[in-house]
């Protein structure tokens, strides 16, 4: 990566202990030169937004497999807006049914990555979104 | 109160963060880390408002419980005052990326408005801290956070850099990490102000604490007291004897005592005059780091002009003895009889 590394928050949102995907993404992005702050599991929207604020992250990647995304993800995005971070892109990963995706995008999610997405695809998308194509 | 997203003058940013705006504080910490255009102006504007906070370095081997201990401490401080945490994790030498995971133990406590947690990657620096930490501690100080708890990378035997930055250093050990000889080697143990043996619920914790006390006492007997740090006056003679405390960070046991010892060390620094040594040591170290940084980028050009690549080849081919080759390179650079 050219220039200083981007700072990315990888967050496990809600009552969901399935964190292998989040850990694989966190490690994979680290290997692509990102600085990844990992929150650990069972985070509330307030905890995730507070971490995004204090860490001044360039991008927020939320992993959620519990099915609670319709409730929790808009809450996080609203908190980001309230704290002056409306410009921070939000990525969603995990199990997000096709039928829910339009609502997630309408709520402000920039991109949704489901099972089978490679680290490379994710990293390339992030670099393009943050304006640093390689 | 939140800052607008656009560019901001350093004066404006300084004012906002001093008024308690977390977004501005977080951005300022990024500015100095990325060496943004006006970061020096920002630090200059903030400088008159610094010097209040106690910088507390917390070091220790990976898995000793530093993050958990710090989150407990922050919880206690946070009930009555504003407290900041700078938590350092290593940058990968292969990718330049980093996985910053200390926050996992701190997301609860970071919801308190009095507690500010920031994760930092070392970005290529050895010694357990990043270069930006020095500036970031200054900014947190100006923003009114006190104390500032600085967690080094998992460390113990070589990572003594935090001793220069911090007013007070806490070395966290845990039972079951090596034999008595480990405690006899050099390292943070001999330059820390307070020693904590965490995981006090483990059966061998009392024995670990006893071994550490024994080692520290040996240092005093041989006249090389643990605090005879780089030739400065001996802390033990001035009245500070390293306490060795037992804590169980998960259960929250022993945290009161640790907090009390940190306060006591601060009082002692002021009363004994050792505070001046600390300030002086910190200033000299930071200047050294910054001058070195500039020096190294010039050094490369100077050495290349002196025939660096050819000399490397002759040494690699075993045609030249390396010490003599280095001396000749230096002579060519400085044009004198420098012995290097």
List, for residues B19-69, the tens digit of each pLDDT value: 999 999 999 999 999 999 999 999 999 999 999 999 999 998 888 999 999
Closest by CA position to B113, among listed A12, A54, A14, A108:
A54
Q: Tell me what percent of chain B is helix, strand and coil, each rounded to the nearest 5.
A: 50, 10, 40
Nearest-by-Cβ selection for A84 from B4, B99, B117:
B4
Question: In this structure, what DSSP letter does residue A43 have?
Answer: B
d(CA A2, CA A25): 21
Domain ranges of chain B: 1-48, 50-272
What pLDDT is recorded for position B1?
42
d(CA B135, CA B114): 21
Band of pLDDT at residue A133, cut at 50, 70 and 90: low
Q: Give the best residue of A54, A60, A119 to mutate against chain B (max B CB count within 10 A).
A: A54
- SS3 state at B287: helix
What pLDDT is recorded for position B239?
81
Q: Does B97 sit within 8 Å of A55, measured CB to CB?
A: no
Nearest-by-Cβ selection for A31 from B34, B91, B95:
B95
In chain B the first and final C-alpha atoms are separated, in Å, by 56
Cα distances from A32 to residues A26, A27, A124, B94, B96, in angstroms, run 10, 9, 10, 10, 8
What pLDDT is recorded for position B218?
78
Q: Which of residues 68-127 of A touch B (CB under 8 A)?
A: 82-87
All domains of chain A in start order, with CATH: 7-129 (3.40.50.280)
Cα distances from B331 to residues B71, B75, B208, in angstroms, run 53, 57, 52
Q: Which residues of B touch A34 (CB under 8 A)?
A: 97
What pLDDT is recorded for position B228?
46
- B336 contact partners, CB below 8 Å, separation of at least 6: none
Residues A11, A105 contacting (CB under 8 angstroms):
no
Question: In this structure, what DSSP letter does residue B131 have?
Answer: T
Q: Does A54 sit within 8 Å of B97, measured CB to CB?
A: no
Most distant CA pair in chain A: distance in Å? 39
Question: In this structure, what DSSP letter does residue B306 have?
Answer: T
Q: Give the best residue of B26, B27, B29 to mutate against chain A (max A CB count within 10 A).
A: B26
Q: Does A29 sit within 8 Å of B97, measured CB to CB?
A: yes
d(CA B86, CA B221): 36
CATH fourth-level superfamily of B50-272 = P-loop containing nucleotide triphosphate hydrolases (3.40.50.300)
What pLDDT is recorded for position B220?
65
* ipTM, 2 dp: 0.93
Q: Which residues pair with B168 in a beta bridge?
A: B56
**Plot region of B62 (φ>0 → left; ψ -120 to 50 → alpha; else → beta):** beta
User: Who wins on pLDDT, A3 or A122?
Assistant: A122
**Residue B232 CB neighbours (<10 A):** 13
d(CA B238, CA B52): 23
In chain A the first and final C-alpha atoms are separated, in Å, by 8
Of all residues in chain A, the percent with pLDDT exceeding 70 is: 98
Q: What's the whole-number mean pLDDT along residues A99-126?
A: 95
List, for residues B61-95, the tens digit of each pLDDT value: 888 999 999 999 999 999 999 999 999 988 888 88
Q: Does A87 sit within 8 Å of B99, measured CB to CB?
A: no
What pLDDT is recorded for position B340?
45
d(CA B35, CA A29): 23
Counted across chains A and B, CB pairs separated by less than 8 A come out at 96
pLDDT under 50 in chain B at which residues?
1-5, 226, 228, 230-231, 338, 340
Q: Does A39 sit within 8 Å of B104, measured CB to CB?
A: yes
d(CA A87, CA A65): 25
Which element (helix H / strand E) includes B58? Answer: strand B55-59
Is the pLDDT at A23 greater than 80? The verdict is: yes
Backbone angles phi, psi at A7, to 5 degrees: -105, 125
Strand pairing report for B83-89 and B168-173? unpaired
| CA of residue B67 relative to chain centroid, distance | 14
Asked whether the bond before B147 is cis by omega within 30 degrees of 0, the reply is yes
- By the 10 Å C-beta count (0-12 exposed, 13-18 middle, 19+ buried), A102 is classed as exposed
């Amino acid at each position: 990566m050219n220039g200083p590394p981007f700072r990315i928050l990888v967050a496990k949102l809600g009552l969901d202990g399935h964190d292998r995907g989040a850990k694989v993404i966190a490690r994979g992005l680290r290997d692509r030169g990102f600085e990844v702050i990992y929150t650990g599991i069972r985070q509330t929207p307030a905890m995730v937004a507070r971490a995004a604020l204090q860490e001044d992250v360039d991008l927020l990647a939320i992993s959620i497999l519990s099915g609670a995304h319709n409730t929790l993800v808009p809450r996080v995005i609203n908190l980001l807006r309230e704290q002056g971070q409306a410009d921070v892109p939000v990525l969603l990963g995990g199990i997000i049914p096709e039928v829910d995706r339009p609502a997630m995008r309408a709520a402000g999610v920039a991109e949704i990555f489901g099972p089978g997405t490679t680290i490379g695809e994710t990293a390339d998308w992030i670099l393009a979104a943050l304006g640093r194509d390689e | 109160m939140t800052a607008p997203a656009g560019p901001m003058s350093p004066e404006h940013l300084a004012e906002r963060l001093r008024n308690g705006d977390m977004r501005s504080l977080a951005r300022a910490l990024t500015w100095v880390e990325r060496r943004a255009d006006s970061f020096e102006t920002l630090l200059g504007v903030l400088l008159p408002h610094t010097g209040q906070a106690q910088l507390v370095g917390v070091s220790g081997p990976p898995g000793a419980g530093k993050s958990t201990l710090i989150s407990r401490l922050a919880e206690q401080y946070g009930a009555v005052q504003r407290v900041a945490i700078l938590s350092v994790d290593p940058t990968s030498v292969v990718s330049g990326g980093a996985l910053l995971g200390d926050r996992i133990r701190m997301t609860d406590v970071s919801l308190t408005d009095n507690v500010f947690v920031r994760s930092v990657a070392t970005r290529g620096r050895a010694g357990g801290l990043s270069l930006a930490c020095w500036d970031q501690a200054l900014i947190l100080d100006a923003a009114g956070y006190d104390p500032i708890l600085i967690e080094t990378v998992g460390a113990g035997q070589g990572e003594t850099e935090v001793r220069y930055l911090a007013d007070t250093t806490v070395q966290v050990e845990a039972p079951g990490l090596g034999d008595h000889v480990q405690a006899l080697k050099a390292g943070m143990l001999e330059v820390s102000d307070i020693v904590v043996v965490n995981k006090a619920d483990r059966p061998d914790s009392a024995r670990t604490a006893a071994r550490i006390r024994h080692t520290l006492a040996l240092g005093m007997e041989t006249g090389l007291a643990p605090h005879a740090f780089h030739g400065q006056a001996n802390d033990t003679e001035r009245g500070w004897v390293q306490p060795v405390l037992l804590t169980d960070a998960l259960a929250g046991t022993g945290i009161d005592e640790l907090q009390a010892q940190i306060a006591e060390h601060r009082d002692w620094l002021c009363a004994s005059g050792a505070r001046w040594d600390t300030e002086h040591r910190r200033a000299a170290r930071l200047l050294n780091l910054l001058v070195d940084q500039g020096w190294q980028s010039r050094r490369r050009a100077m050495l290349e002009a002196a025939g660096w690549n050819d000399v490397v080849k002759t040494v690699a081919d075993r045609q030249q003895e390396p010490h003599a080759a280095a001396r000749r390179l230096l002579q060519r650079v400085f044009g004198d009889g420098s012995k290097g």
